[in-house]
Amino acid sequence: MLRTWQLRSSLTRDRGRLYRACKSSSNILTADSTPYSLPITYYLFTIMSEFETGLPSIRQVQTYIKDKQEVELKLVTNDLLAGKIFWQDPHCICLLDEENTQTTIWRQAIVYLKPKS
């Protein structure tokens, strides 16, 4: 079992590595006010770098992209968008309409997505 001073030393060392890994280490916010908390940029980097390609929903959208299939997207604003999905990332989906206009849609704004019939 680690002693308190060993744990603090380990956390300080890890925190230092994270600070050096971030581009703007001088303006890093912490997740809470404790001196050993991880920077928010660490949490954001972790979330952004995790794109679970094994999830069925991600694979289904990838199939729509590959097949260039027309889809309908219903948004939380009750708008209904139609087009082809151009790309996806962990946070957004890009939809191409019939005029090849790209619209970036946050995943949080999507109520449902289905193939256009």
Q: Does pLDDT of 58 surpass 60?
A: yes
Q: Does pLDDT of 32 surpass 50?
A: no
Mean pLDDT of 43-66: 78
- DSSP string covering 42-80, please? HHHHHHHH---TTSHHHHHHHHHHHHT-EEEEEETTS-E
Token digits of residue 37:
């908390």
Q: Does pLDDT of 79 surpass 70?
A: yes
Q: Grade residue 69 by pLDDT with cuts at 50, 70 and 90.
A: very high
Token digits of residue 64:
């729509």
**Residue 39: per-residue pLDDT:** 52
